[in-house]
Every structure is written in structure tokens, then in C-alpha cells.
Amino acid sequence: MSEFQVTGNITQIAEVKEGTTKAGDAFKTLSFLVDTGEEYNNIYSFDLYQSGEKDNIDKFLQYNKVGQNVDVKFNVRTNEYKEKYYTSLQAWSIFSNNVGTTDINGSSPPF
């Protein structure tokens, strides 16, 4: 699987959505936009998913704000539902270029 990365400013952070899986497990999702400032293909919409003991959405909200410059590493995921295809960009690591580093995979930021 290829690893992708973009650098830009967070322009929007959506409200956290909570739900329950078919198996009865609680989860949270969050979307945020990053503008790279490039002429074409400059806005990216990323999704974060949190379930179980993970706290990646909580960490993201604690250390990231609108206007912050970040490097986002992500995977592209496409799912099929009722003969239609849906593609999402799933962020798995976000590094702040402003003050410190936020790694949503579990390591603590250095501040």
C-alpha cells in the first residue's frame, strides 16, 4: 500500500460524530479540511476514525486548530455500497509545523 502525504493549513474541523457498530462497539469519526495553497487539487478532506481504546480524535482536537499548518500522512480507501463506490482519505498521522508534533498513532507530542 502506498503512503501519501500533503502539507497545508487546516481550514475546517467538523463536529465529532459518534455511533455504534453492528457488533455493538462504540466509535467516533471526525472530518477536517486541509488547504495546500497549490493552484490545482489544493483542498483535501480527511477522515479520522476512533474506536475502542484508541484516542486519536481526542489527541487531534487537543493539539490541532483551524489555521494550523500540518503535514498529514494518509491512506486512500474505497468501499462499495449498493453498486456505488465511495472513496475517503484516512489520516493516520498529523504533524504540526507550528509549535510541536501531534502523532495520532499514540506517541506523545514533544511539549
- The CATH number of whichever domain residue 11 belongs to comes to 2.40.50.140
The values of phi and psi at residue 109, to 5°, are: -70, 150
Map grid coordinates 488547504 to a residue. Answer: 35
pLDDT at 73: 93
**What total number of domains does the chain contain?**
1
Residue 70 lies in a domain: yes
Q: Which of the two residues, 87 and 99, has the higher pLDDT score?
A: 87
pLDDT bucket at 52, cuts 50 / 70 / 90: confident
Residue 81 lies in a domain: yes
pLDDT at 96: 86
Residue 102 lies in a domain: no
Residue 103 lies in a domain: no
Q: Which domain holds residue 37?
A: 4-96
pTM assigned to the model: 0.78
Give whole-number Cα distances, 97 to 10, 12, 60, 63, 69, in Å.
11, 17, 14, 12, 5
Residue 101 lies in a domain: no
Residue 104 lies in a domain: no
- Binning the chain into helix, strand and coil, the percentages to the nearest 5 are 5, 55, 40
